[in-house]
Chain A
Protein backbone atom coordinates (compact mmCIF):
# COMPACT_ATOMS: atom_id res chain seq x y z
CA UNK A 1 0.00 0.00 0.00
CA UNK A 2 1.45 3.32 -0.95
CA UNK A 3 1.66 6.26 1.37
CA UNK A 4 -1.35 8.06 -0.04
CA UNK A 5 -3.51 4.97 0.24
CA UNK A 6 -2.36 4.39 3.78
CA UNK A 7 -3.08 7.99 4.58
CA UNK A 8 -6.57 7.69 3.17
CA UNK A 9 -7.23 4.54 5.13
CA UNK A 10 -6.12 6.19 8.33
CA UNK A 11 -8.33 9.14 7.52
CA UNK A 12 -11.26 6.83 6.97
CA UNK A 13 -10.71 4.97 10.22
CA UNK A 14 -10.37 8.16 12.20
CA UNK A 15 -13.55 9.54 10.71
CA UNK A 16 -15.34 6.38 11.70
CA UNK A 17 -14.03 6.58 15.23
CA UNK A 18 -14.52 10.33 15.55
CA UNK A 19 -17.34 11.24 13.20
CA UNK A 20 -18.13 14.84 12.52
CA UNK A 21 -20.98 15.89 14.79
CA UNK A 22 -24.28 16.44 13.10
CA UNK A 23 -25.45 19.99 13.51
CA UNK A 24 -27.99 21.76 11.45
CA UNK A 25 -26.88 25.22 12.38
CA UNK A 26 -23.59 26.75 11.41
CA UNK A 27 -22.83 28.10 14.81
CA UNK A 28 -24.35 31.00 16.64
CA UNK A 29 -22.21 34.01 15.81
CA UNK A 30 -24.41 36.35 17.78
CA UNK A 31 -23.79 34.32 20.92
CA UNK A 32 -20.08 34.45 20.22
CA UNK A 33 -20.28 38.22 20.08
CA UNK A 34 -22.20 38.32 23.34
CA UNK A 35 -19.59 36.14 24.99
CA UNK A 36 -16.83 38.30 23.57
CA UNK A 37 -18.44 41.45 24.86
CA UNK A 38 -18.59 39.91 28.30
CA UNK A 39 -14.85 39.43 28.29
CA UNK A 40 -12.32 42.16 28.90
CA UNK A 41 -10.61 43.07 25.69
CA UNK A 42 -7.02 42.04 25.96
CA UNK A 43 -4.52 44.37 24.42
CA UNK A 44 -0.79 43.84 24.05
CA UNK A 45 0.06 46.33 26.78
CA UNK A 46 -1.26 43.94 29.40
CA UNK A 47 1.63 41.63 30.20
CA UNK A 48 0.77 38.00 30.61
CA UNK A 49 2.59 37.68 33.91
CA UNK A 50 0.05 39.88 35.58
CA UNK A 51 -2.37 37.09 35.30
CA UNK A 52 -2.88 35.06 38.41
CA UNK A 53 -1.30 31.65 38.04
CA UNK A 54 -3.75 28.87 38.05
CA UNK A 55 -3.35 25.38 39.31
CA UNK A 56 -2.07 22.99 36.77
CA UNK A 57 -4.27 20.13 35.92
CA UNK A 58 -3.74 16.82 34.35
CA UNK A 59 -4.67 16.85 30.73
CA UNK A 60 -3.53 13.75 29.02
CA UNK A 61 -5.75 11.16 27.50
CA UNK A 62 -9.39 11.93 27.08
CA UNK A 63 -9.95 8.52 28.51
CA UNK A 64 -9.70 5.06 27.22
CA UNK A 65 -11.05 1.66 27.19
CA UNK A 66 -9.14 -0.89 25.33
CA UNK A 67 -10.08 -3.85 23.28
CA UNK A 68 -7.18 -6.18 23.59
CA UNK A 69 -6.34 -9.73 22.83
CA UNK A 70 -6.42 -11.37 19.48
CA UNK A 71 -9.41 -12.50 17.60
CA UNK A 72 -12.72 -11.97 19.20
CA UNK A 73 -11.31 -11.58 22.65
CA UNK A 74 -13.21 -8.45 23.29
CA UNK A 75 -12.53 -6.94 26.62
CA UNK A 76 -15.42 -6.53 28.97
CA UNK A 77 -14.05 -3.09 29.44
CA UNK A 78 -15.95 -0.17 30.71
CA UNK A 79 -14.59 3.21 30.08
CA UNK A 80 -15.51 6.59 28.94
CA UNK A 81 -14.17 8.68 26.14
CA UNK A 82 -15.45 11.65 28.06
CA UNK A 83 -13.03 11.40 30.91
CA UNK A 84 -13.92 8.58 33.25
CA UNK A 85 -11.21 5.99 33.74
CA UNK A 86 -12.02 2.59 32.40
CA UNK A 87 -11.91 -0.76 34.10
CA UNK A 88 -10.56 -3.71 32.21
CA UNK A 89 -10.13 -6.05 35.17
CA UNK A 90 -12.78 -8.27 36.70
CA UNK A 91 -12.54 -6.35 39.96
CA UNK A 92 -11.12 -3.31 41.70
CA UNK A 93 -9.67 -2.89 45.15
CA UNK A 94 -6.26 -2.87 46.76
CA UNK A 95 -3.40 -3.78 44.48
CA UNK A 96 -0.71 -6.04 45.96
CA UNK A 97 1.83 -4.10 47.97
CA UNK A 98 5.54 -4.23 47.30
CA UNK A 99 7.32 -3.32 50.49
CA UNK A 100 9.99 -0.67 50.64
CA UNK A 101 10.66 2.65 49.05
CA UNK A 102 9.73 3.87 45.61
CA UNK A 103 13.15 2.77 44.44
CA UNK A 104 12.51 -0.66 45.92
CA UNK A 105 9.25 -0.89 44.02
CA UNK A 106 11.01 -0.06 40.76
CA UNK A 107 13.81 -2.56 41.27
CA UNK A 108 11.48 -5.30 42.47
CA UNK A 109 9.18 -4.94 39.51
CA UNK A 110 12.09 -4.78 37.08
CA UNK A 111 13.60 -7.90 38.61
CA UNK A 112 10.39 -9.77 37.93
CA UNK A 113 10.50 -8.91 34.24
CA UNK A 114 13.53 -10.49 32.56
CA UNK A 115 13.79 -8.01 29.70
CA UNK A 116 13.35 -4.86 31.82
CA UNK A 117 16.39 -3.28 33.40
CA UNK A 118 17.79 -0.02 34.68
CA UNK A 119 14.49 1.42 35.95
CA UNK A 120 14.20 4.95 37.21
CA UNK A 121 11.79 7.80 37.57
CA UNK A 122 12.25 11.45 36.82
CA UNK A 123 10.06 14.43 37.50
CA UNK A 124 8.45 15.72 34.38
CA UNK A 125 6.37 18.71 33.57
CA UNK A 126 4.46 19.04 30.39
CA UNK A 127 4.85 22.72 29.61
CA UNK A 128 1.80 24.89 29.79
CA UNK A 129 0.20 26.29 26.74
CA UNK A 130 1.51 29.55 25.46
CA UNK A 131 -2.04 30.78 25.20
CA UNK A 132 -2.52 33.14 28.14
CA UNK A 133 -6.16 32.19 28.31
CA UNK A 134 -5.46 28.51 28.62
CA UNK A 135 -5.95 26.85 31.96
CA UNK A 136 -5.23 23.43 33.26
CA UNK A 137 -3.15 22.48 30.30
CA UNK A 138 0.08 21.59 32.02
CA UNK A 139 0.90 18.63 34.16
CA UNK A 140 3.63 17.64 36.55
CA UNK A 141 4.37 14.15 37.73
CA UNK A 142 6.71 11.25 37.32
CA UNK A 143 7.99 9.69 34.16
CA UNK A 144 9.13 6.07 34.39
CA UNK A 145 12.15 5.03 32.41
CA UNK A 146 13.69 1.66 31.73
CA UNK A 147 15.81 -0.28 29.29
CA UNK A 148 14.53 -3.25 27.34
CA UNK A 149 17.04 -5.98 26.55
CA UNK A 150 16.39 -7.19 23.02
CA UNK A 151 18.17 -9.05 20.24
CA UNK A 152 16.90 -6.71 17.53
CA UNK A 153 14.89 -3.55 17.23
CA UNK A 154 11.99 -4.56 15.02
CA UNK A 155 9.22 -7.07 14.62
CA UNK A 156 9.06 -10.17 16.75
CA UNK A 157 12.43 -9.39 18.29
CA UNK A 158 10.86 -6.67 20.39
CA UNK A 159 7.35 -7.97 20.97
CA UNK A 160 7.95 -9.59 24.34
CA UNK A 161 10.06 -6.66 25.48
CA UNK A 162 7.30 -4.22 24.60
CA UNK A 163 4.82 -6.39 26.47
CA UNK A 164 7.08 -6.33 29.50
CA UNK A 165 7.40 -2.58 29.10
CA UNK A 166 3.63 -2.25 29.21
CA UNK A 167 3.38 -4.55 32.22
CA UNK A 168 6.12 -2.63 33.97
CA UNK A 169 4.74 0.83 33.27
CA UNK A 170 1.26 -0.19 34.36
CA UNK A 171 2.46 -1.89 37.51
CA UNK A 172 4.64 1.04 38.52
CA UNK A 173 1.81 3.47 37.93
CA UNK A 174 -0.64 1.46 40.01
CA UNK A 175 1.79 0.63 42.80
CA UNK A 176 2.97 4.23 43.07
CA UNK A 177 -0.64 5.36 43.24
CA UNK A 178 -1.43 2.83 45.95
CA UNK A 179 1.65 3.68 48.00
CA UNK A 180 1.40 7.43 47.56
CA UNK A 181 4.73 7.66 45.78
CA UNK A 182 3.47 10.05 43.17
CA UNK A 183 1.47 10.20 40.01
CA UNK A 184 3.05 8.55 37.02
CA UNK A 185 2.18 10.59 33.96
CA UNK A 186 4.59 9.27 31.40
CA UNK A 187 6.89 6.45 30.56
CA UNK A 188 9.75 5.92 28.22
CA UNK A 189 11.70 2.81 27.36
CA UNK A 190 14.87 2.25 25.39
CA UNK A 191 15.65 -0.83 23.36
CA UNK A 192 19.17 -2.02 24.07
CA UNK A 193 20.72 -4.73 21.92
CA UNK A 194 23.68 -6.94 22.87
CA UNK A 195 26.02 -4.82 20.75
CA UNK A 196 24.94 -1.71 22.57
CA UNK A 197 22.64 -0.26 19.97
CA UNK A 198 19.96 1.86 21.53
CA UNK A 199 16.63 2.90 20.10
CA UNK A 200 13.70 4.67 21.61
CA UNK A 201 10.95 2.19 22.36
CA UNK A 202 8.33 4.77 23.10
CA UNK A 203 6.44 4.87 26.29
CA UNK A 204 3.57 6.63 27.84
CA UNK A 205 1.19 5.34 30.41
CA UNK A 206 -2.50 5.10 30.08
CA UNK A 207 -4.39 7.32 32.45
CA UNK A 208 -7.59 6.11 30.87
CA UNK A 209 -7.74 3.05 33.07
CA UNK A 210 -8.16 2.86 36.81
CA UNK A 211 -5.15 2.44 39.05
CA UNK A 212 -6.88 0.00 41.38
CA UNK A 213 -7.57 -2.86 39.02
CA UNK A 214 -7.47 -6.28 40.62
CA UNK A 215 -7.14 -9.35 38.44
CA UNK A 216 -7.87 -13.01 39.01
CA UNK A 217 -5.30 -15.51 40.14
CA UNK A 218 -4.16 -17.93 37.48
CA UNK A 219 -6.24 -21.11 37.82
CA UNK A 220 -4.31 -24.26 38.56
CA UNK A 221 -5.77 -26.01 35.55
CA UNK A 222 -5.08 -23.22 33.05
CA UNK A 223 -2.21 -25.09 31.39
CA UNK A 224 -4.36 -28.09 30.57
CA UNK A 225 -7.15 -25.86 29.32
CA UNK A 226 -4.78 -23.96 27.05
CA UNK A 227 -3.11 -27.11 25.77
CA UNK A 228 -6.41 -28.74 24.94
CA UNK A 229 -7.76 -25.71 23.15
CA UNK A 230 -4.50 -25.13 21.32
CA UNK A 231 -4.37 -28.73 20.14
CA UNK A 232 -7.87 -28.48 18.77
CA UNK A 233 -6.75 -25.89 16.24
CA UNK A 234 -3.52 -27.58 15.28
CA UNK A 235 -1.00 -26.02 17.65
CA UNK A 236 1.55 -28.24 19.34
CA UNK A 237 4.41 -28.10 21.83
CA UNK A 238 2.37 -25.81 24.04
CA UNK A 239 4.21 -24.38 27.00
CA UNK A 240 2.51 -22.35 29.69
CA UNK A 241 4.41 -20.40 32.29
CA UNK A 242 3.41 -17.88 34.89
CA UNK A 243 5.36 -14.83 35.91
CA UNK A 244 4.69 -12.43 38.74
CA UNK A 245 4.47 -8.72 38.13
CA UNK A 246 2.07 -7.26 40.67
CA UNK A 247 -0.07 -10.30 40.12
CA UNK A 248 0.63 -13.31 37.97
CA UNK A 249 0.71 -13.13 34.19
CA UNK A 250 0.71 -15.91 31.62
CA UNK A 251 3.35 -16.65 29.02
CA UNK A 252 2.25 -19.12 26.38
CA UNK A 253 4.41 -20.57 23.61
CA UNK A 254 3.21 -22.91 20.91
CA UNK A 255 4.34 -24.31 17.57
CA UNK A 256 2.42 -24.50 14.35
CA UNK A 257 3.14 -26.65 11.31
CA UNK A 258 0.67 -24.61 9.26
CA UNK A 259 0.85 -21.09 10.63
CA UNK A 260 -1.58 -19.41 8.25
CA UNK A 261 -4.23 -22.05 8.81
CA UNK A 262 -3.73 -22.35 12.53
CA UNK A 263 -3.61 -18.64 13.23
CA UNK A 264 -6.71 -18.11 11.14
CA UNK A 265 -8.42 -20.84 13.14
CA UNK A 266 -7.31 -19.22 16.37
CA UNK A 267 -8.72 -15.89 15.32
CA UNK A 268 -11.93 -17.43 14.11
CA UNK A 269 -12.42 -19.20 17.42
CA UNK A 270 -11.85 -16.07 19.42
CA UNK A 271 -8.13 -15.68 19.93
CA UNK A 272 -6.84 -15.55 23.45
CA UNK A 273 -10.28 -15.95 24.93
CA UNK A 274 -10.62 -19.26 23.14
CA UNK A 275 -7.25 -20.49 24.32
CA UNK A 276 -7.79 -19.44 27.90
CA UNK A 277 -11.41 -20.43 28.12
CA UNK A 278 -12.11 -17.04 29.61
CA UNK A 279 -11.49 -13.37 28.82
CA UNK A 280 -7.80 -12.48 28.82
CA UNK A 281 -8.67 -9.38 30.81
CA UNK A 282 -9.26 -11.61 33.80
CA UNK A 283 -5.49 -11.65 34.21
CA UNK A 284 -2.88 -8.96 34.66
CA UNK A 285 -1.22 -10.01 31.45
CA UNK A 286 -1.12 -12.67 28.78
CA UNK A 287 1.54 -13.24 26.15
CA UNK A 288 1.10 -15.74 23.35
CA UNK A 289 3.80 -16.54 20.84
CA UNK A 290 3.33 -19.03 18.03
CA UNK A 291 6.43 -20.20 16.18
CA UNK A 292 6.60 -22.12 12.94
CA UNK A 293 8.26 -25.53 13.02
CA UNK A 294 11.61 -23.91 12.30
CA UNK A 295 11.40 -21.88 15.46
CA UNK A 296 10.60 -18.56 13.83
CA UNK A 297 7.90 -16.46 15.47
CA UNK A 298 4.89 -16.06 13.23
CA UNK A 299 2.22 -14.68 15.51
CA UNK A 300 2.40 -12.84 18.80
CA UNK A 301 -0.36 -11.27 20.79
CA UNK A 302 -0.37 -9.88 24.29
CA UNK A 303 -2.39 -7.99 26.83
CA UNK A 304 -1.27 -5.64 29.60
CA UNK A 305 -4.46 -4.12 30.97
CA UNK A 306 -2.86 -2.19 33.82
CA UNK A 307 -1.44 -0.03 31.08
CA UNK A 308 -4.58 -0.32 29.02
CA UNK A 309 -2.62 -2.14 26.41
CA UNK A 310 -2.47 -5.05 24.12
CA UNK A 311 -1.07 -5.76 20.72
CA UNK A 312 -0.72 -8.22 17.90
CA UNK A 313 2.21 -8.89 15.67
CA UNK A 314 1.88 -11.23 12.71
CA UNK A 315 4.53 -12.28 10.26
CA UNK A 316 3.70 -10.73 6.89
CA UNK A 317 3.82 -14.18 5.29
CA UNK A 318 0.58 -15.03 7.05
CA UNK A 319 -1.20 -12.48 4.94
CA UNK A 320 -3.00 -11.13 7.96
CA UNK A 321 -1.71 -7.62 7.83
CA UNK A 322 -4.04 -5.16 6.32
CA UNK A 323 -3.79 -1.65 5.12
CA UNK A 324 -1.67 0.81 6.97
CA UNK A 325 -1.71 -1.31 10.09
CA UNK A 326 1.20 -3.42 9.02
CA UNK A 327 4.60 -2.83 10.42
CA UNK A 328 5.40 -3.49 14.04
CA UNK A 329 6.86 -0.47 15.68
CA UNK A 330 8.48 0.08 19.04
CA UNK A 331 6.59 3.30 19.43
CA UNK A 332 3.54 3.45 21.59
Chain B
Protein backbone atom coordinates (compact mmCIF):
# COMPACT_ATOMS: atom_id res chain seq x y z
CA UNK B 1 0.00 0.00 0.00
CA UNK B 2 1.44 3.32 -1.07
CA UNK B 3 1.24 6.37 1.13
CA UNK B 4 -1.27 8.81 -0.25
CA UNK B 5 0.15 11.84 -2.00
CA UNK B 6 -0.64 14.65 0.46
CA UNK B 7 -0.97 17.26 -2.25
CA UNK B 8 -3.33 15.07 -4.22
CA UNK B 9 -5.41 14.59 -1.10
CA UNK B 10 -5.56 18.32 -0.55
CA UNK B 11 -6.50 19.00 -4.15
CA UNK B 12 -9.24 16.40 -4.02
CA UNK B 13 -10.56 17.87 -0.79
CA UNK B 14 -10.65 21.32 -2.32
CA UNK B 15 -12.44 19.95 -5.35
CA UNK B 16 -15.08 18.14 -3.36
CA UNK B 17 -15.73 20.87 -0.83
CA UNK B 18 -15.76 23.84 -3.21
CA UNK B 19 -16.97 22.29 -6.43
CA UNK B 20 -20.08 24.48 -6.48
CA UNK B 21 -18.02 27.66 -6.22
CA UNK B 22 -15.59 26.52 -8.88
CA UNK B 23 -18.44 25.66 -11.20
CA UNK B 24 -20.25 28.94 -10.53
CA UNK B 25 -17.24 31.09 -11.32
CA UNK B 26 -16.39 29.01 -14.37
CA UNK B 27 -19.96 29.34 -15.58
CA UNK B 28 -19.83 33.09 -15.17
CA UNK B 29 -16.62 33.22 -17.20
CA UNK B 30 -17.60 30.81 -19.95
CA UNK B 31 -21.30 31.54 -20.07
CA UNK B 32 -22.34 27.90 -20.16
CA UNK B 33 -22.62 25.41 -17.34
CA UNK B 34 -21.52 22.46 -19.44
CA UNK B 35 -18.44 24.23 -20.70
CA UNK B 36 -17.79 25.34 -17.17
CA UNK B 37 -17.93 21.77 -15.90
CA UNK B 38 -15.35 20.81 -18.50
CA UNK B 39 -13.22 23.77 -17.46
CA UNK B 40 -13.35 22.77 -13.81
CA UNK B 41 -12.33 19.22 -14.60
CA UNK B 42 -9.59 20.38 -16.90
CA UNK B 43 -8.34 22.80 -14.27
CA UNK B 44 -8.06 20.10 -11.64
CA UNK B 45 -6.44 17.75 -14.10
CA UNK B 46 -3.88 20.46 -14.70
CA UNK B 47 -3.47 20.98 -10.99
CA UNK B 48 -2.85 17.31 -10.41
CA UNK B 49 -0.37 17.08 -13.25
CA UNK B 50 1.43 20.17 -12.05
CA UNK B 51 1.15 19.76 -8.35
CA UNK B 52 4.91 19.49 -8.01
CA UNK B 53 5.18 23.07 -9.17
CA UNK B 54 3.13 24.33 -6.26
CA UNK B 55 5.73 25.75 -3.93
CA UNK B 56 3.52 26.65 -1.04
CA UNK B 57 4.31 30.34 -1.27
CA UNK B 58 0.62 31.12 -1.35
CA UNK B 59 -2.45 29.21 -0.38
CA UNK B 60 -3.32 26.08 -2.25
CA UNK B 61 -6.77 27.54 -2.68
CA UNK B 62 -5.41 30.60 -4.48
CA UNK B 63 -3.22 28.43 -6.67
CA UNK B 64 -6.19 26.28 -7.62
CA UNK B 65 -8.33 29.30 -8.36
CA UNK B 66 -5.65 30.67 -10.62
CA UNK B 67 -5.59 27.48 -12.62
CA UNK B 68 -9.38 27.40 -12.71
CA UNK B 69 -9.64 30.95 -14.01
CA UNK B 70 -7.11 30.25 -16.72
CA UNK B 71 -8.84 27.04 -17.74
CA UNK B 72 -12.15 28.85 -18.04
CA UNK B 73 -10.54 31.61 -20.06
CA UNK B 74 -9.08 29.00 -22.35
CA UNK B 75 -12.56 27.63 -22.96
CA UNK B 76 -13.69 31.08 -23.99
CA UNK B 77 -10.69 31.45 -26.28
CA UNK B 78 -11.25 28.10 -27.93
CA UNK B 79 -14.89 28.88 -28.46
CA UNK B 80 -13.97 32.22 -29.96
CA UNK B 81 -11.70 30.42 -32.38
CA UNK B 82 -14.60 28.23 -33.40
CA UNK B 83 -16.88 31.21 -33.81
CA UNK B 84 -14.31 33.02 -35.88
CA UNK B 85 -13.80 30.07 -38.22
CA UNK B 86 -17.48 29.37 -38.56
CA UNK B 87 -19.57 32.51 -38.37
CA UNK B 88 -23.00 32.05 -36.96
CA UNK B 89 -26.03 34.19 -36.52
CA UNK B 90 -26.18 36.08 -33.30
CA UNK B 91 -28.23 34.25 -30.75
CA UNK B 92 -31.34 35.82 -29.40
CA UNK B 93 -31.43 36.67 -25.77
CA UNK B 94 -33.42 34.33 -23.66
CA UNK B 95 -37.03 35.30 -23.37
CA UNK B 96 -37.10 34.40 -19.72
CA UNK B 97 -34.46 36.93 -18.78
CA UNK B 98 -35.80 40.09 -17.27
CA UNK B 99 -34.70 43.43 -18.56
CA UNK B 100 -32.95 44.15 -15.29
CA UNK B 101 -31.05 40.91 -15.34
CA UNK B 102 -30.06 41.38 -18.96
CA UNK B 103 -28.91 44.85 -18.10
CA UNK B 104 -26.72 43.56 -15.32
CA UNK B 105 -25.23 40.94 -17.60
CA UNK B 106 -24.57 43.51 -20.26
CA UNK B 107 -22.96 45.84 -17.76
CA UNK B 108 -20.74 43.09 -16.42
CA UNK B 109 -19.81 41.99 -19.94
CA UNK B 110 -18.58 45.48 -20.69
CA UNK B 111 -16.23 45.55 -17.75
CA UNK B 112 -12.55 45.01 -18.36
CA UNK B 113 -11.73 41.36 -17.92
CA UNK B 114 -9.83 41.86 -14.67
CA UNK B 115 -12.77 43.69 -13.11
CA UNK B 116 -15.11 40.93 -14.19
CA UNK B 117 -12.92 38.25 -12.75
CA UNK B 118 -12.51 40.07 -9.46
CA UNK B 119 -16.28 40.40 -9.18
CA UNK B 120 -16.84 36.73 -9.91
CA UNK B 121 -14.22 35.60 -7.42
CA UNK B 122 -15.44 38.00 -4.76
CA UNK B 123 -19.13 37.29 -5.03
CA UNK B 124 -19.37 33.77 -6.40
CA UNK B 125 -16.39 32.20 -4.69
CA UNK B 126 -16.41 34.38 -1.57
CA UNK B 127 -12.67 34.77 -1.71
CA UNK B 128 -10.83 37.40 0.27
CA UNK B 129 -8.56 39.94 -1.38
CA UNK B 130 -5.47 37.88 -0.69
CA UNK B 131 -6.84 34.78 -2.39
CA UNK B 132 -8.24 36.80 -5.29
CA UNK B 133 -4.87 38.44 -5.70
CA UNK B 134 -3.16 35.10 -5.79
CA UNK B 135 -5.67 33.75 -8.28
CA UNK B 136 -5.19 36.69 -10.63
CA UNK B 137 -1.53 37.32 -9.91
CA UNK B 138 -2.14 40.82 -8.58
CA UNK B 139 -1.63 42.41 -5.20
CA UNK B 140 -4.42 42.57 -2.62
CA UNK B 141 -4.36 46.35 -2.96
CA UNK B 142 -4.95 46.05 -6.67
CA UNK B 143 -7.81 43.70 -5.95
CA UNK B 144 -9.44 46.34 -3.79
CA UNK B 145 -8.93 49.06 -6.34
CA UNK B 146 -10.19 46.85 -9.13
CA UNK B 147 -13.27 45.91 -7.16
CA UNK B 148 -13.94 49.56 -6.42
CA UNK B 149 -13.64 50.42 -10.10
CA UNK B 150 -15.97 47.57 -10.99
CA UNK B 151 -18.55 48.84 -8.52
CA UNK B 152 -18.37 52.33 -9.96
CA UNK B 153 -18.66 51.07 -13.49
CA UNK B 154 -21.64 48.91 -12.67
CA UNK B 155 -23.38 51.77 -10.93
CA UNK B 156 -23.24 53.82 -14.04
CA UNK B 157 -24.05 51.07 -16.48
CA UNK B 158 -26.89 49.44 -14.64
CA UNK B 159 -28.43 52.57 -13.25
CA UNK B 160 -30.85 52.96 -16.11
CA UNK B 161 -32.21 49.49 -15.64
CA UNK B 162 -32.78 50.13 -11.98
CA UNK B 163 -34.63 53.37 -12.42
CA UNK B 164 -36.15 52.74 -15.80
Residue pair A136, B77 in contact (C-beta under 8 Å): yes
Q: In the complex, what's the smallest C-beta–C-beta distance from B2 to chain A, in angstroms?
A: 15
Closest beta carbon of chain B to A135's beta carbon, Å: 5
Closest residue on chain B to residue A18 by CB atoms: B28
- When the two chains form their complex, are residues B16 and A17 in contact, meaning their CB atoms are under 8 A apart? no
Q: How far is the CB of A125 from chain B (nearest CB, A)?
A: 14
Interchain CB contact under 8 A, B164 and A21: no
A285 interface residue (CB < 8 Å to B) = no
Known contacts A17-B105, A67-B103, A83-B31; is A320 also within 8 Å of B163 by CB? yes
**CB of B57 within 8 Å of the partner chain:** no
| Chain B 13-29 interface mask (CB, 8 Å, partner A; 1/0) | 00110011011100111
B130 within 8 A of A: no
User: Is A103 on the interface with B (CB-CB < 8 A)?
Assistant: no
Neighbour of A87 across the interface among B20, B30, B90, B99, CB < 8 A: B90
CB neighbours of B164 from chain A (8 A): 70-73, 267, 271, 312
Bound form: Cα–Cα A31–B37 in Å: 11
| Pair A131/B67 contact, Cβ less than 8 Å | yes
Which of chain A's residues has its CB closest to B16's CB?
A26
Q: Which of B66-115 contact A (CB under 8 A)?
A: 66-67, 70-71, 73-74, 76-81, 83, 88-93, 99-106, 108-113
Measured between alpha carbons, how far is A202 from B67 in the docked complex, in Å? 29
The count of chain B contact residues (Cβ–Cβ below 8 Å) is 82
A326–B29 CA distance with the chains assembled, in angstroms: 27
A329: B residues at CB distance < 8 A? 152-153, 155-156
Chain B interface, DSSP helix/strand/loop, else mixed: helix
Interface residue B60 (Cβ < 8 Å from any Cβ of A):
no
Beta-carbon contact of A311 and B157 below 8 Å = yes
Inside 8 A of B46's CB, which chain A residues have their CB? 36, 39, 133
State how many angstroms separate the Cβ of A297 from the closest Cβ of chain B.
Answer: 15
- Whether B15 pairs with A27 at a CB distance below 8 angstroms is yes
Task: Given A62-B29, A83-B31, decide whether A42 and B49 contact each other with a Cβ distance below 8 A.
Answer: yes
Chain A neighbourhood of B159, CB < 8 A: 311-314, 321, 325-326, 328
Q: Is B154 an interface position by the 8 A CB rule?
A: yes
- The answer to whether A41 touches B27 (Cβ under 8 A) is no
For the complex formed, measure the closest distance between the CB of A1 and the CB atoms of chain B, giving whole angstroms. 12
Alpha-carbon separation in the docked complex, A6 to B158 (Å): 14
Query: Taking the complex as formed, is B42 at the interface, i.e. its CB lies under 8 A from any CB of chain A?
Result: yes
Residue B162, interface by CB 8 Å:
yes
Q: List, in ascending order, chain B residues with CB within 8 A of A131's CB.
A: 66-67, 70
Q: Check if B23 sits within 8 Å of A135, measured CB to CB.
A: no
Residue B44 interfacial (CB < 8 Å): yes
> Is B131 an interface residue when CB atoms closer than 8 A count as contact?
no
Interface residues of A, count at CB 8 A: 94
Instruction: Determine the residue in chain B with the shortest Cβ distance to A133.
Output: B46
Give Cα A206 to B113, complex, Å: 11
Q: Is the CB of A35 within 8 A of B12?
A: no
Chain A, 61-81, CB within 8 A of any chain B CB: 61-74, 77-81
Interface positions of A from 289 to 332, Cβ below 8 Å from B: 301, 308-314, 320-329, 331-332
CA distance A301 to B161 in the complex (A): 12
Binding site for A on B (CB under 8 A): 12, 15-16, 19-20, 22-24, 27-33, 36-37, 40-42, 44-46, 48-50, 52-53, 66-67, 70-71, 73-74, 76-81, 83, 88-93, 99-106, 108-113, 116, 119-120, 123-124, 137, 149, 151-164
Q: Which residues from chain A sit less than 8 Å from chain B, CB to CB?
A: 6, 10-11, 13-18, 20-23, 26-29, 31-33, 35-36, 38-44, 57-74, 77-87, 126, 129-131, 133-137, 202, 204, 206, 208, 210, 267, 271, 301, 308-314, 320-329, 331-332
List the 3 closest A-B pairs by CB distance, nearest first.
Answer: A136-B77, A35-B45, A21-B33
28 A-B residue pairs with CB within 8 Å: A10-B151, A23-B20, A27-B23, A35-B42, A41-B50, A44-B53, A57-B81, A61-B109, A68-B160, A70-B160, A70-B164, A82-B31, A87-B90, A126-B113, A129-B73, A133-B67, A133-B70, A134-B70, A134-B73, A271-B164, A301-B160, A308-B110, A325-B159, A325-B162, A325-B163, A326-B155, A331-B153, A332-B157
